[in-house]
Every structure is written in C-alpha cells, then in structure tokens.
Amino acid sequence: MIFSTTIFVFLFLPLFLAGYYLLPFRYRSGWILLGSWAFYAWWRLDFLSLIVATTIWTYALGAVVARERLARPSRARAALALGCVLNLGILAYFKYFNFGIESLNALLQTLGAEPLSAWRVILPIGISFYVFQATSYLVDLYRDDAPEAGSYVELAAYISLFPQLIAGPILRYKDLAGQFRARSHTFEKFSEGALRFMLGFCKKVLIADSVAVIADTAFALETPGFVGAWLGALAYSAQLYFDFTGYSDMAIGLGLMMGFRFIENFNYPYISRSITEFWRRWHISLSTWLRDYLYIPLGGNRRGERRTYLNIMVVMLLGGLWHGAAWTFVVWGAWHGGLLVLERVRTSRGEEPTGAYLSRRAGATFASAVATARTMLLVTIGWVVFRAPSFSVAVEMYRGMIGLDGIGPLAELSWQIDGVSILMLGVSFVLIYTAPYLGTVRAGVPTLRLLSALSSGRAPAFGRALLVPLFLLSVLKLTAEAFSPFLYFQF
C-alpha cells in the first residue's frame, strides 16, 4: 500500500485515524503497531515476519546493552556487535545477494569459467530504512544517547511506523522516545498535518508523475540526442525531487495528524551553491545518519587531511551502494564523493567556500547564481548514472548531453511527450527556484518557514484554500491514470 492511492486516502487512513482517536492514549502505540503491520502486509504478508524478527532481536539485545553498558562493558559491546551484524546482515543478504552473484558471474565469464547458478532474492520494500532505524537504536543505547524502549510494542511501533516505513525520513528513537510517551493532539496540529499531506500528494501526483513521462521516454531512447538527453536529465532531476519531497511531506503530515513531529528531510537542495551544501539540504535524515554512524566512527576529520578524504569517499561509496545494488550507484557515490573531496581540498587552500552560507540573500548576486547553476549541473550529471539502468544507457545520455549524437529524434520525442508534461516540467523548475525566496531568509539561508506556513494556520487563507482543489485534482488524476509508485521504494 502506498500513500498516493485512493484505497489509502479513502479507506485505510480514515479507519486508522478513527480507531486511533477513539482509543485511550495508553493503547495508541499498540494501534500504531497494528496499523503499521497491516500497512506493510498489504504488500506481502511473508515479509512482515522479517520486521517482527528484526524488532525482537533489536529489543532483546538493546536490553542487554542498556543493562550492561556500565557494569560489564564487554557484554554490552558484544550485544551491540551481534545486533549490528544481524541487522546489517539481513540488509546485505536481501539487497546485495543478487548483485554479488551477478558481479561474480560476470568476472567468471570474463575469465572463461562457467557462471554460478543461484536463486533470486526478492528485495523487501523499506528494508534499508527500518534496518537503519533499528541499528541506530542499538548504537545510541550504547553511547547513552537514547533511553531504553519502555516495551516491545513501543520499539516495534517506532521501527514499523507506517508514515515513514517505506521511504523515510530515517527517524531516531532518541528523537521520538518522549513523543511516544507524551505528545499533544490538537486541532491545529492535525490541520497542519492534513495540509502538509495534501501538499505532498500534489507534488507527487501533479508534478512528479507528470514529468516522469519525459524521463522515462528519454532514457528509453536508443540515441536520445542533445534535446532528448537534456530533457530526460532535467525531467528526472525534477521527478526525483518532487517524488521524494512529496513522500516526505506526506510522512511528516501523517505524523502530525498522529501527534508526532518528525524531522525535516529537505531544505531546498537545488539552490545549493556547492555539493557540500547540497548534502546539507538533500535527504537530511540519511546524510546525518551516515555522518553520525559511519563518517565520525571512521575518524571524521580528526586524523589528518588524507584520512578525511578517504573517509568521505568511503561514506559516499557506501551511501551510493545503499541506494541500490548496482555498479551505477557505486559510480554515483564516487562522483559525489570526489566532488566533496575536491571542494574540501579547495577550501583548505583558501580558494573558495564550500557550502558556507553567505551573509547576503542567496542567489541575489551574480556569483551566487553562477555557483548555484554550477552545482545544479554537477548534481544533474550525477542523476543520469543514478537513473540509468546500465552504463551503456548512461553513456548514450552523456553523449547526447555534450552533442555527440546530434539534436536527437525530435519526431519520436514529440509523439511520446505531451504538452502537459512539458508544462509541468517548466512549473517544477519555477517552483524549485522561486519557492525558497518567498519565505523568510535568515542569515542568508532560505528557511522552511514558507513550507511550514503553507501547511499551518499562518499562511494566507488563499494559499491554504488553493491546496484543497489541487488535492482534489490530484485525486482525479490518480484515478484516471496508471499506478505510480514512489521512486525511493526501490532503494
């Protein structure tokens, strides 16, 4: 089940919220757990057992870590290690077994040997997210940075929390522990959540799904040419942004409707003036998770410049591999890792800031505009290999982008891409580069105040009222068109 379906909007969500608000507070965590398990089991009942098992051993080992952390540290470390091995082990098996076998067979065939035969492993949706949440719980317990879960139900509800179960944001128990035990339920918070959900729904259905046609068409062309390649690259950049921010908005909105306040996952990343700044604004919950649980434990920037550069590359390579079991994702991670290292080198030489926020309004000067355009170009180049199903497709797209294959098959593009898709592509980039500056700018940084104002009572009545017909239009569009899952479900 996904958010952008009529069965979720008009059946599951109303029934869940009705039961939730009819129950006393002490039973609501149990209701969240049942609802989340039903939400996940709608896809496949058998894989629900994997979440249940993950929660059981995480809860049991977490109790050992909390109990023995000071009294017998060696036992606490052993329990932590076992929990990390189990959690990351199931992630490695389900996500990378096929990739490993395929890579090994390719090597064997190159060497003239017979390939191995093996079974195919189905990737459970959301496994990358709930495994990271379970692992962070154990690590935070060991660091004494989070309280122990009050019960199995509470921890299971946190790990399985359906608003963010499938595609994030990646939540940490230490940020939600207090909210599980006491949170406010007000009409204002519920209304803010409902409007935020509608905003995300519109992003997904009206914009992301519309420009997806352009991206899919361009990446499917044998020789996209200059026009097709750039249309495809820009369309995918917009599709991924509005698809993922739309999901995050819906997740945050659903959390508010239940009394929770989740962290923000995006802060207008496409206005960044460097790759360093981009990663402070894009998929914030993942970038901070990788920083806190991988980059810093590797030594961060505390062991000299060369070790810092190595740590950055390792983190970004693993971050790329986290997104998907394919060498294209490894290359994408290496691309961003290399750019981050280059920016850090230039900063150490005093050549230019790498993501340091300017004191003047962002984008108000020519230099800022050039830096923003350059960063967007580098990000878009990276999205091509991220989206491409193979290196050969990525190479053809890059050839087209630099003009090696001519203008492109314009006739083929014209009959496959309608005017609405082109219009929505234009609208998407207008929103990307105007929305940040319609809100409050503090210390040169466009904040999320516009977004929060739009989804709360502080927005003008016209702005809030406009969401309702747009939401209804989105529902009508959804019922008339084919099923379209969120992009991050595959990661």
Residue 460 tokens read as 């003008």
Is pLDDT of 453 > 60?
no
Taking a C-beta distance cutoff of 8 angstroms, is the pair 66, 174 a contact?
no
| Element (DSSP H or E) covering residue 441 | strand 441-442
Rounded CA-CA distance 486/204 in Å is 8
Res. 442: pLDDT tops 70:
no
Q: Give dist(CA 382, CA 389) in Å, integer.
A: 14
Residue 363 — pLDDT band, cuts 50, 70, 90?
very low
> What is the pLDDT at residue 479?
80
Residues with active-site annotation: 323
Cβ-proximal residues to 201 (8 Å cutoff; 6+ apart), any chain:
3, 4, 9, 246, 250, 471, 474, 475
Query: How high is the pLDDT of residue 314?
Result: 96
Residue 457's pLDDT band (cuts 50, 70, 90): very low
Angle at CA 477, nearest 5°, toward 421 and 424? 20
Beta carbons of 271 and 438 less than 8 angstroms apart: no
Q: In the chain, what percentage of residues exceed pLDDT 70?
A: 90
Residue 81 scores a pLDDT above 60: yes
Asked if residue 136 lies in contact with residue 293, where contact means CB atoms within 8 angstroms, the answer is yes
Task: For residue 163, give the DSSP letter.
Answer: T
Q: Which residue has the higher pLDDT, 439 or 96?
A: 96
Q: Provide the residue type at 295 as one letter.
A: Y
Give the tokens for residue 79: 């329990």
Per residue in 294-330, pLDDT tens? 999 999 888 888 999 999 999 999 999 999 889 999 9
Instruction: Name the nearest CA neighbour of 221 among 440, 415, 24.
Output: 415
Retrieve residue 148's tokens.
């122990």
Structure confidence at residue 31 as a pLDDT band (50, 70, 90): very high
Number of H helices and number of E strands within the chain? 21, 2
440 pLDDT exceeds 70?
A: no
Q: Which residues pair with 419 in a beta bridge?
A: none
CB atoms within 10 A of CB 80: 22
With cut-offs at 50, 70 and 90, classify the pLDDT of residue 52: very high
Q: What is the pLDDT of residue 476?
A: 84
**Number of Cβ atoms within 10 Å of the Cβ of 12:** 18
Please report, for residues 14, 210, 212, 460, the alpha-carbon distance to residue 466 in angstroms, rounded to integers and kept in the order given.
23, 20, 24, 10
- Whether 360 has a pLDDT exceeding 60, the answer reads no
What's the pLDDT score for residue 62? 96
Statement: residue 362 has pLDDT above 90: no
Beta bridge pairs of residue 441? 446
What are 89's two structure tokens?
């082990």
Distance CA(237)–CA(331), nearest Å, equals 17
Amino acid occupying residue 387: R
> Hey, how many other C-beta atoms are within 10 angstroms of the C-beta on 108?
13
What is the spatial distance between Cα 437 and Cα 361, in angstroms, rounded to a whole number?
9
